[in-house]
Amino acid sequence: MKRNGSSLKTSLFQGKPWYQSRTNSFLSSILSITADIIQHFPQTIRNPLIKSIDKLGLFIIRMMKIMPFHSQPYHHIQGPGVENEQINIMYQGDLSSIIFFLKKLFPDTENLHITTIPHNKNKKKIAALKEKSDMFIIEKDYFFKGFYQKKGYLIIPENISFILPAIQPIENTIKKCSQSIQQDIKKAKSFGYQYEIKSDISAFKNFYNTMYIPYVKWKYKEMEKIVSYDAMRHFSLRGSKLLLVTSDDSNVFGGIFDIEKQKIITQYAGLKEGKFNHIHNGIITLSYYFLILIAKKYNIKSIDFGTSPPFLSDGLYKYKMKWNMHITKTKPIFSTIFAIKMNAQSKSLQNFFKQNPFFYYKKDSLSAAFLIDTHNDITKKEKWGLKHNNLKEIEPTLYYSLDELYL
């Protein structure tokens, strides 16, 4: 991958900007100072106080994104398409936000070339590149959705959210999951895993050092983006819980979650260093199962299992759909939008959108877009998991050309 003036990163954090604090960063320093002060308060005051600070921080972050003085740089992105076509994209926004899009559009990232241009420089060059590009994409806050829809842009969310209802008996919930999920749970149970819940700061610190950091470095390698320990301490002080899965009296897996308004909200997770082979035993699937058990124990109505990119071909989307989860809009503070304008109807882009159905905003509601050739392709939508009727008010929309899609 050839880069000029920027780097291509990936975000691990499911769209939670208040906690995307790397060690020695400004945000990490704020979390550290806040934690140092709040830890001296009584527990009854500490939790609501730090949650109030969270809400204020998230509000400030979103206002900064909405204010007109906040302008992101432009990125000219070039890469190979099909049949020796060259795809040219102009993108204004944070590159780490659109990595999900670029990875699917350009599977061969070694030949991807990115040039970054500050928004207040080379305005003539920026205008020329925008005009010559196959596609112009701009990242904006959800607040601007209607404005860009009126200008004819296609609006795609950065993330979609997954909610699993927990009202039914757990046997009924599991029966509605895919056969592979049921088999993984059965397999994992045969290994005798147990779980426990911790909330003390020492448990969070041990999880961070022995599970979270090693797992992120192992799974994501050079594209790792490790949250700081200050964020983990912040979770502990705000009353978050730590689910620990044990094997032979040794902690193997850990995951942070919150309980708010009869809903479990999942956060970070990790596997102990040297224990990554437990993935093959179905331990990740079993951790989901344990959360359902916890929900039933405390009369929790639903579990927020986080987000995934909006493409139905995404691996994380496919896995969560195996649980028969409901798809919903992600809260605006946790998900920006991408306004897309097509300038050229290339074969490469036609092929890309045909292979990657996606969720987009049709007025104020989500819709699933399928680019197909004929009416005979309509049944193909079932292979993406839409037959489970867990889209609530989301209706699949069929298009037969890129022209039709962008009208």
Q: Could you please report the per-residue DSSP string of 162-208?
A: EEEE--S-HHHHHHTS-HHHHHHHHHHHTTT-EEEEE-SHHHHHHHI
Q: Are strands 113-117 and 2-4 parallel, antiparallel or unpaired?
A: parallel
391 against 368, higher pLDDT: 368
**Is residue 225 a contact partner of residue 10, using CB atoms and an 8 Å limit?**
yes
**Is residue 333 a contact partner of residue 58, using CB atoms and an 8 Å limit?**
yes
| Least confident interval from 16-30, 192-206, 231-245, 291-305 | 16-30
> Does residue 396 register a pLDDT over 70?
no
Are both 170 and 270 inside the same structural domain?
yes
The pLDDT of residue 18: 37
Are both 276 and 142 inside the same structural domain?
no
> Does residue 55 register a pLDDT over 60?
yes
Are both 293 and 312 inside the same structural domain?
yes
Are both 165 and 314 inside the same structural domain?
yes
Domain assignment of residue 13, yes or no: no
State the chain's maximal CA–CA distance in angstroms.
66
* pLDDT tens figures, 308-317: 899 988 888 9
Are both 187 and 311 inside the same structural domain?
yes
Domain assignment of residue 38, yes or no: no
Question: Among 328, 348, 363, where does a domain finish?
Answer: 328
The pLDDT of residue 84: 81
Are both 338 and 394 inside the same structural domain?
yes
The pLDDT of residue 386: 57
State whether residue 253 is helix, strand or coil. Answer: strand
| Least confident interval from 220-234, 246-260, 355-369 | 220-234
Domain assignment of residue 104, yes or no: yes
Domain assignment of residue 32, yes or no: no
The pLDDT of residue 227: 79
For residue 16 the two structure tokens come to 């939670």
* pLDDT tens figures, 81-136: 888 888 999 999 988 788 888 888 887 767 889 999 887 777 888 888 888 899 99
> Does residue 4 register a pLDDT over 70?
no
d(CA 63, CA 313): 33
> Does residue 196 register a pLDDT over 70?
yes
Q: Give the residue-averaged pLDDT of 44-69.
A: 77
The domain tally of the chain equals: 2
Domain assignment of residue 261, yes or no: yes
For residue 383, give its domain range: 74-159+330-405
* pLDDT tens figures, 371-394: 877 655 555 555 555 554 455 556
At position 97, the amino acid (one-letter code) is S
Question: Among 286, 309, 328, where does a domain finish?
Answer: 328
The pLDDT of residue 7: 39
Phi-psi region of 275 (alpha: psi -120 to 50; beta: other; left: phi over 0): alpha
Task: Kindly tell me the burial class for residue 164, based on how many C-beta atoms sit within 10 Å of its own C-beta (0-12, 13-18, 19 or more).
Answer: buried
> Does residue 258 register a pLDDT over 60?
yes
400: confidence class by pLDDT, cuts 50, 70, 90: low
Question: Among 273, 305, 328, where does a domain finish?
Answer: 328
Nearest to 324 by CA among 170, 157, 165: 165
Are both 281 and 179 inside the same structural domain?
yes
For residue 369 the two structure tokens come to 């877009």
State how far the alpha carbon of 248 is from the alpha carbons of 235, 242, 296, in Å: 28, 19, 26
Q: Give the residue-averaged pLDDT of 20-39.
A: 67
Domain assignment of residue 25, yes or no: no
Neighbours of 23 (CB within 10 A): 11
Are both 245 and 322 inside the same structural domain?
yes
Are both 90 and 139 inside the same structural domain?
yes
> Does residue 246 register a pLDDT over 90?
yes
Are both 172 and 289 inside the same structural domain?
yes
Are both 186 and 258 inside the same structural domain?
yes
Are both 271 and 259 inside the same structural domain?
yes
Q: Give the residue-averaged pLDDT of 239-243.
A: 93
Task: Kindly tell me the burial class for residue 208, based on how many C-beta atoms sit within 10 Å of its own C-beta (0-12, 13-18, 19 or more).
Answer: buried
N-term to C-term CA, the chain = 34
> Does residue 406 register a pLDDT over 70?
no
Three-state SS annotation for 314-346: CHHHHHHHCCCCEEEECCHHHCCEEEEEECCCC
